[in-house]
Amino acid sequence: MEQTTALKKETKSEKRNIFDSFQDGTRKGWGIFVKSMLPSIVMAYTFIYILETTGLMDLFSDIFAPVMGIFGMPPISIVCLATVFFSRAGGCALAASFVADGSLTPMQATILLPTMFLIGGTINQWVRVISVCGTRSSRQKYIIIMTWIMAFLSLWVGRFVFPLFS
């Protein structure tokens, strides 16, 4: 008798309505957005606001203009890379806003995207992966350095590859 009741419960839980599954997924997705992504985006926009208000964005762009020129990118793109260091979502949102206001072209944003994903969340990577896994401190710097080398290599390669598809 108990087995029959347990079997009925299993059958009931297996035959969920597709709308209930969708709602559950939406609730979980909303929770992830509110707890994880939204604070990062707010932090990134706050960072940008501080840079704009203090005039540091222009100074930052001017300082790194020669470096970004090597990759064929406008100086303002360094701000996206600085922001993505803290928040991948915030850096990508900033690049999208630069495309919207004409500071970046869609092609330039496309070239930046792989680099932003490689650099993105370096601090999170450090805390969540390198520290937690117990990587020897003598090797930790090499992991971060290699990430940055690969990121700027992707920026350089993207400069030549992506325009071939436009």
The predicted-structure confidence for 121-154, as pLDDT tens digits, reads as follows 676 667 666 667 777 778 778 877 888 898 889 9
Residue 9 included in any domain: no
Residue 160 included in any domain: yes
| Token digits of residue 36 | 């994880």
Among candidate residues 82, 94, 125, 109, the one with its CA nearest the CA of residue 166: 109
CA distance 65 to 69: 6
DSSP for 107-135, written as a single string: HHHHHHHHHHHHHTTHHHHIIIIIITTT-
pTM: 0.66
Residue 145 included in any domain: yes
Residue 7 included in any domain: no
What range does the domain containing 68 cover?
Answer: 19-165
| Token digits of residue 161 | 């590859």
CA distance 111 to 76: 14
Residue 41 included in any domain: yes
- Residue 31, pLDDT > 90, answer no
The predicted-structure confidence for 40-59, as pLDDT tens digits, reads as follows 778 777 877 888 899 888 89
Amino acid sitting at position 5: T
**Number of domain units in the chain:** 1
CA distance 16 to 24: 11
Residue 112 included in any domain: yes
Residue 109 included in any domain: yes
Surface-to-core class of residue 116, CB atoms within 10 Å of its CB (0-12 exposed, 13-18 middle, 19+ buried): buried
Predicted confidence band of residue 112 (pLDDT cuts 50, 70, 90): very high
